Amino acid sequence: MSLLDLIFPPRCGGCGAYGAPWCVACAGTLRPPSATTLAGIPLVAASRFDGPLQQAIHTYKYRPRPQLASVLAPPLGRAVVTAGLLMPALTFVPLHPRRQRERGFNQAQRLAAELASALGIPLVSGLTRVRATPAQVGLSQAERRANLAGAFRWSGPQPPGDHLGLVDDVCTTGATLTSAAEAVAEAGGSIGAFLVLAVAQTLPAVAVT
């Protein structure tokens, strides 16, 4: 514990308790969903999108507390190892530049950086949002898909490569992930797995057990 921690003890991003940025009790509430796929691509998540994790993701993005990435990424890393997925590199869902300026960071990029470091593989940048998309909240799956069609493009200095892991914080309907994967495919690469902290219960592809 550093001197700074004694003066400003960390609070849990899930329940607000003092002592740790992600407490043991909250860590115990994670409920990994069963293995599933989205558009034929494996989808791996640390948990369902509810309870303390939902609160912690909200705190991470909107308070914001970017440093929570270091405690949110490990459960996802364990889910990747459990799933037995091997990926040559990771990439991430981009924010529109304006939103990234407002937030000060890209939550998916920060998570992906932690995850890549833990898995010992490179993180490659290249996906960009070519147009701002209206907020997705409240839209149906079909509306989200239409909203996101052509929203992404690969503009990295090199082609994306094959079987990349694509990282985002939350998968609600899968429209963002599949649209981003299409942009990678259009650039001659492929996505080998979608990696997210949490999946919403509303995701049709996810069998809720």
- Interface residues with Zn ion (CB under 5 A) are 12, 14-15, 23, 26
Q: How far is the CB of 71 from Zn ion (least distance, A)?
A: 10
Nearer to Zn ion, 12 or 148 (CB): 12
Nearer to Zn ion, 28 or 104 (CB): 28
Q: How far is the CB of 158 from Zn ion (least distance, A)?
A: 41
* Single-letter residue type at 143: E
Q: Which of 114, 128, 185, 196 is nearest to 156 (CA)?
A: 128
For residue 30 the two structure tokens come to: 């994670």
Q: How far is the CB of 156 from Zn ion (least distance, A)?
A: 37
For residue 207 the two structure tokens come to: 């069998």
Residue 55 near residue 13, CB atoms below 8 Å: yes
Residue 29 near residue 20, CB atoms below 8 Å: no
Q: Is the peptide bond before 64 cis (omega within 30 degrees of 0)?
A: yes
Q: How far is the CB of 206 from Zn ion (least distance, A)?
A: 25
Q: Which of 93, 21, 125, 28 is nearest to 63 (CA)?
A: 21
Nearer to Zn ion, 36 or 70 (CB): 70
Nearer to Zn ion, 23 or 123 (CB): 23
Nearer to Zn ion, 26 or 164 (CB): 26
Task: Give CA–CA dist 129/136, Å, rounded.
Answer: 15
Q: How far is the CB of 28 from Zn ion (least distance, A)?
A: 9
Task: Give CA–CA dist 31/51, Å, rounded.
Answer: 10
Q: How far is the CB of 70 from Zn ion (least distance, A)?
A: 15
41 bridge partner residues: 38
Nearer to Zn ion, 52 or 189 (CB): 52
Task: Give CA–CA dist 199/178, Å, rounded.
Answer: 14
